[in-house]
Amino acid sequence: MARVRLIQAINQALHEEMARDDRVTVIGEDVRISLFGDTRGLLEAYGPERVLDAPLSESLLSGMTVGAAATGLRPVLHLMYGNFLYTAWDAIANQAAKLRYMTGGQFALPLVFMAIFGGGRSQGAQHSDSMHSMLVNLGGLKVVMPATPADAKGLMKASIRDNNPVVFLQSAGRGGEAGEVPDGDWIVPLGVADVKLPGSDVNVIAIGAMVRLALRAAEAMAKEGVSVEVVDPRTLRPLDSPTLLKSVRKTGRVVVIDEGRLSCGMASEISAIVAEEAFDALKAPIRRVASFDVPIPFSPALESQVLPTESRLIDAIRSTL
Amino acid sequence: METTATQTLAEWYRRMLLIRAVEVRLGKASRTGELPGPVHLSVGQEATAVGVASCMRPGDWAASTHRGHGHFLALGGDPKSLVAEIYGRATGACGGKGGSMHVADLSHGMLGANGIVGAGIGLAAGAALTAKQRHTGGIAIAFFGDGGANEGILFEAMNLSAIWSLPLLFICENNGWSEFVRTESLTAGQISRRAEAFGIPESQVDGNDVLAVHEAATEAAERARAGLGPTFLEMMTYRTEGHVESETTFLPGSYRPEAEVESWRRRDPIDQLASKLSNLGLDEDALRQMQDEVAQEADSAFEFARESPMPDPATAMTDVFEEDPS
């Protein structure tokens, strides 16, 4: 067990998987120097054929990643910011998410699209989106959103080994967060939720960067004598509904917090699952806390109005009691 | 001509006949309402498909377009599985999940027809990257049309394949019409010349002359296999059928002069090859025999498709993900 930052945990995962399998190839803008640090040192360790600095051509790069995966590589395309997925969207939505299905299972597409996402750092609306619910809605992608260094490492390794297209989204503001990461070949399987904090009164289902916020809110509520259970789905497809529902049934009160926008977002989806599957266990209406339905603003004074906050979450928790 | 044996030409002739026979029947089935979805025929363009495929070896890859039946068959795909797929049957190449615009056969290096214009260019670039990185000696073919030549992904791919020296062939099948609009009115300059700016060797080729296509494609393939990077070939051809077979049901009238279509019919690639074969000494009977055999093969493919079962409804939920990790 060693204490590492989240971005280092991803870096370790990439190093280990590139060492394990010489088909793993990292492609993207500035991946050799590495803007965020997640791909640092890969060039020196694995050479220029497997660590490719690419031109700014997202629609080609995403399509090329699909074609390379279909023909024998295991590419990892670093798209930098989540919003850049939009310029790569055709190959994500029309090729990666559909080719295996449309061809009756002929394709295996072992690829990872990775990017940082989300707001909170005054990056402006075009660098701050959380687009995971759109990705889940495409119907043919796995979507991974780790909240801790241990999950980031274990999920990245599992994503690279998966024979399907995986979108790995790292919360932009959380790269520097340190945490314990188990030694050895640490794998977190896709589709397994994690109870980050056991509790008995209210269940908070939190995704990505919202996990830390939920843990802080739980701490505050504990001082008021309210026991909050925090559950992190970790992957949105596959979604570990049984674990989420088990936690909901335990408390009968649920708040879902997500950095994505409210309308048609992941908080809405999880709320619907809870309403359909565990309505009988509910003691209070389900509450959603999400970004409001506007672009993410630049000024810190405005951005904090739009993104979910601890106080909005605490209000929502209180409203279920 | 001297270097290509008569037998090889006869094989190409048979393959082109097969594409034509299957597509003519598909057109008829579409117009009579027998097919569930749209079909885009490549009638008149068979020489580009067969001529380009002739430069390919096992392990090479080709990504096709929405007009992909010809590529599927040129690469060696089974007409039965093609036609059954277009009929939406369980025995189709994709189990009925793809249809005309998504026929694929990975066992023959066919990365699929594609419903998104230009998207095959990205897939082919990826296959070329695999070939280069794994040192397979293989190449990848990107088929696209004159309409697709105006998609941004082409410019991105020309740039990247040039700087990375990818073993990639850009094959633009210029049939003169982007759906229902004359390509000239939508497209600045000569399409192949665009490659010049990226330092990619380019040329225009008579796309209705299978031998010319073969020679140009073979030279490009040799360059690619030798690590010298991509080549851009603009195949000048024409689709003598519509953009989509159902177009007569929704278009107000004809969008192209009959004389133009007729002039291209006189340059039919299959007739041209038949003349060459006659000059090489193949008699009428031999040609007739091939035509009869191919007609029979096409008929039996349709019989197979019509008699095949519809897919099991449960399969609508399968083939999304491969479950076993590496």
DSSP line for B192-231: GGGGGGGT--EEEEETT-HHHHHHHHHHHHHHHHTT---E
CA distance A89 to chain B (A): 11
DSSP-based three-state secondary structure for A16 = helix
Q: What is the dihedral of CA A204, A237, A22, B57, to 10 degrees?
A: -170
**Same structural domain for residues A9 and A114?**
yes
Residue A186 lies in a domain: no
**Same structural domain for residues A112 and A222?**
no
* pLDDT at residue B1 tops 50: no
- Give me the number of domains chain A comprises: 2
**Which is it for strands B177-178 and B181-182: parallel, antiparallel or unpaired?**
antiparallel
Q: Do A68 and A93 touch, CB atoms closer than 8 A?
A: no
DSSP-based three-state secondary structure for B169 = strand
**Same structural domain for residues A138 and A83?**
yes
Residue B137 lies in a domain: yes
What CATH number has the domain bearing residue B43?
Answer: 3.40.50.970
Is A21 near chain B, with CB under 8 Å? Answer: yes
Among A194, A127, A140, CA closest to A167: A140
Average pLDDT over residues B179-190: 94
Q: How far apart are CA A80 and CA B290, in angstroms?
A: 56
**Same structural domain for residues A124 and A218?**
no
* pLDDT at residue B2 tops 70: no
- Give me the number of domains chain B comprises: 1
Residues 108-127 of A with CB under 8 A from B: 108, 110
Overall residue count recorded for chain B in this entry: 326
Q: Which amino acid is at B242?
A: G
Name the domain boundary from A135, A150, A181. A181
Sheet holding B202-206, edge to edge: B61-63, B140-145, B168-174, B231-236, B202-206
Flag if B121 and A63 touch (Cβ within 8 Å).
Answer: yes
Residue B318 lies in a domain: no
Residue A152 lies in a domain: yes
Mutate to test the interface with B, among A23, A90, A100, A106 (most CBs of B within 10 A): A106
Q: What local confidence, expressed as pLDDT, does residue B3 receive?
A: 52
Q: What local confidence, expressed as pLDDT, does residue B248 receive?
A: 84
Q: Do B235 and B212 touch, CB atoms closer than 8 A?
A: no
- From first to last of its 321 residues, chain A has per-residue pLDDT tens of 899 999 999 999 999 999 999 999 999 999 999 989 999 999 999 999 999 999 999 999 999 999 999 999 999 999 999 999 999 999 999 999 999 999 999 999 999 999 999 999 999 999 999 999 999 999 999 999 999 999 999 999 999 999 999 999 999 888 889 999 999 999 999 999 999 999 999 999 999 999 999 999 999 999 999 999 999 999 999 999 999 999 999 999 999 999 999 999 999 999 999 999 999 999 999 999 999 999 999 999 999 999 999 999 999 999 999
Q: How far apart are CA B315 and CA A178, in angstroms?
A: 45
Sequence-distant (≥ 6) Cβ neighbours of residue A276 within 8 angstroms: none
Q: Do B301 and B293 touch, CB atoms closer than 8 A?
A: no
**Same structural domain for residues A203 and A166?**
no
Flag if A106 and B105 touch (Cβ within 8 Å).
Answer: yes
Q: Which amino acid is at B156?
A: E
Name the domain boundary from A131, A150, A181. A181
Q: Do A151 and A194 touch, CB atoms closer than 8 A?
A: yes
DSSP letter, residue B317 = G
**Same structural domain for residues A174 and A283?**
no
Q: How far apart are CA A101 and CA B116, in angstroms?
A: 16
**Same structural domain for residues A58 and A114?**
yes
Residue B195 lies in a domain: yes
Residue B112 lies in a domain: yes
Name the token pair of B324: 């076993």
DSSP-based three-state secondary structure for A222 = helix
Q: What is the mean pLDDT of chain B?
A: 95
- DSSP one-letter string for A77-140: EEEEEGGGGTTTHIIIIIIITTHHHHTTT------EEEEEE--SSS--GGG----HHHHHHTSS
Is A257 near chain B, with CB under 8 Å? Answer: no
Overall residue count recorded for chain A in this entry: 321
DSSP lists the bridge partners of residue A170 as A116
Q: How far apart are CA B230 and CA A85, in angstroms?
A: 27
Q: Which amino acid is at A223?
A: K
* pLDDT at residue B221 tops 70: yes
Number of helices (H) and strands (E) in chain B: give both, helices first. 10, 7
**Same structural domain for residues A159 and A286?**
no
Q: Quick: pLDDT tens for B90-114.
A: 999 999 999 999 999 999 999 999 9
Mutate to test the interface with A, among B132, B168, B310, B326 (most CBs of A within 10 A): B326
Chain B residues touching residue A105 (CB < 8 angstroms): 95, 318-319, 322
The continuous run of DSSP H or E covering A304 comes out as helix A300-306
Is A161 near chain B, with CB under 8 Å? Answer: yes
* pLDDT at residue B326 tops 70: no
Q: How far apart are CA A27 and CA A65, in angstroms?
A: 8
Name the domain boundary from A155, A181, A207. A181
Sequence-distant (≥ 6) Cβ neighbours of residue B96 within 8 angstroms: A104, B84, B85, B88, B89, B90, B310, B311, B315
- Domain range enclosing A71: 2-181
Flag if A67 and B129 touch (Cβ within 8 Å).
Answer: yes
Q: How far apart are CA B296 and CA B17, in angstroms?
A: 11
**Same structural domain for residues A259 and A290?**
yes
Q: What local confidence, expressed as pLDDT, does residue A1 receive?
A: 87
**Same structural domain for residues A92 and A201?**
no
**Same structural domain for residues A199 and A165?**
no
Among A93, A243, A99, CA closest to B322: A99
Q: What is the dihedral of CA A69, B142, B153, A62, to 10 degrees?
A: 0
Residue B245 lies in a domain: yes
Q: Which stretches of A229-289 are DSSP H helices?
A: 241-251, 266-278
Residue B88 lies in a domain: no
Q: How far apart are CA B321 and CA A99, in angstroms?
A: 10
Name the token pair of B15: 């393959």
- Domain range enclosing B144: 6-78+100-257
Q: How far apart are CA B86 and CA B28, in angstroms?
A: 13
Chain B residues touching residue A104 (CB < 8 angstroms): 92-98, 319
Residue A263 lies in a domain: yes
Residue A14 lies in a domain: yes
DSSP letter, residue B110 = B
State the number of CA atoms in the 13 A half-sphere of B324 facing the CB: 1
Residue A50 lies in a domain: yes
Average pLDDT over residues B173-196: 95
Q: How far apart are CA A35 and CA A28, in angstroms?
A: 11
**Is this prediction's pTM over 0.95?**
yes
Residue B205 lies in a domain: yes
**Same structural domain for residues A176 and A198?**
no
Residue A15 is a catalytic residue: no
Residue A293 lies in a domain: yes
Residue B319 lies in a domain: no
What CATH number has the domain bearing residue A199?
Answer: 3.40.50.920
DSSP-based three-state secondary structure for B5 = coil
CA geometry: angle at A32 spanning A30 and A38, to 5°?
85
